[in-house]
């Protein structure tokens, strides 16, 4: 009887370890390096920067299907860093180096609109974080080694991207 019990427990342990191993998806996909991960608020989309021969392209992936979501505007820019996504992944914000000048770009995947935010005077953006509802943006700057940040209100240029679940808001 004790033997059966031990076998049963052993099976339970083996089964639980199989279930627990589902929680992690390891990336062995391509030869390219992937950097700067950013999840959408609902965790269904992942943005990252892919390094192809020194060019840094931003890519957006649907984690449910595994498919790459095309970016109409951002795919044209090849020096991107620090992507950030809104709750449903409707908006993607990145920092892009255009002719030696860093600016913030926001692509709206729903309406197809594209926004350039350039009003930083001599400050150089280092990272960007979009609030999940896309109401505001925080941009980190580097000024002679000292890093600071500034908040920007986006409600005049973007619609809110809210969770369908009220508890998440």
CA quadruple 110, 130, 46, 118: dihedral sign: positive
By CB under 8 A, is residue 78 in contact with another protein? no
Question: Are residues 92 and 84 in contact, defined by beta-carbon separation less than 8 angstroms?
Answer: yes
By CB under 8 A, is residue 137 in contact with another protein? yes
By CB under 8 A, is residue 123 in contact with another protein? no
Q: Which is nearer to another protein, 6 or 168 (CB)?
A: 168
- Which member of 69, 78, 79, 135 binds another protein (CB under 8 A)? 135
Burial of 145 (0-12, 13-18, 19+ CB in 10 A): exposed
Per CB under 8 A, the segment of 2-10, 30-38, 93-101 that binds another protein is 30-38
Instruction: For 34-73, give the secondary structure using H, E and C.
Output: EEEEEECCCCCEEEEEEEECCEEEEEEEECCCCCEECCCC
By CB under 8 A, is residue 95 in contact with another protein? no
By CB under 8 A, is residue 75 in contact with another protein? no
By CB under 8 A, is residue 68 in contact with another protein? no
By CB under 8 A, is residue 146 in contact with another protein? yes
- Which member of 79, 114, 123, 159 binds another protein (CB under 8 A)? 114
Q: Measured between alpha carbons, how far is 46 from 108 in angstroms, rounded to an integer?
A: 15
- Which member of 7, 9, 37, 52 binds another protein (CB under 8 A)? 37
Q: Which of 132, 36, 52 is nearest to 85 (CA)?
A: 132
Burial of 114 (0-12, 13-18, 19+ CB in 10 A): middle
**Total residues binding another protein (CB under 8 A):** 63
Which residues form the interface with another protein (CB under 8 A)?
A: 19-20, 22-29, 31-43, 46, 48, 63, 72-73, 87, 112-119, 127, 129-133, 135-138, 140, 145-154, 156-157, 163, 168-169
């Amino acid at each position: 009887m004790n033997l059966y019990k031990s076998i049963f427990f052993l099976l339970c342990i083996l089964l639980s370890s199989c279930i627990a191993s589902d929680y992690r998806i390891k990336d062995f996909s391509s030869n390219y390096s992937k950097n700067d991960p950013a999840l959408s608020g609902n965790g269904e989309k992942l943005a990252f920067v892919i390094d192809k021969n020194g060019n840094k392209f931003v890519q957006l992936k649907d984690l449910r299907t595994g498919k790459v979501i095309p970016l109409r505007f951002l795919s044209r820019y090849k020096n991107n860093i620090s992507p950030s996504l809104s709750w449903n992944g409707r908006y993607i914000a990145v920092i892009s180096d255009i002719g030696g000048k860093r600016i913030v770009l926001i692509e709206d995947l729903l309406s197809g609109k594209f926004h350039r935010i350039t009003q930083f005077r001599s400050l150089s953006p280092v990272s960007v974080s979009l609030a999940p509802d896309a109401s505001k943006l925080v941009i980190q700057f580097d000024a002679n080694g000292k890093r600071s940040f500034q908040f920007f209100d986006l409600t005049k240029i973007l619609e809110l991207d809210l969770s369908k679940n009220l508890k998440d808001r």
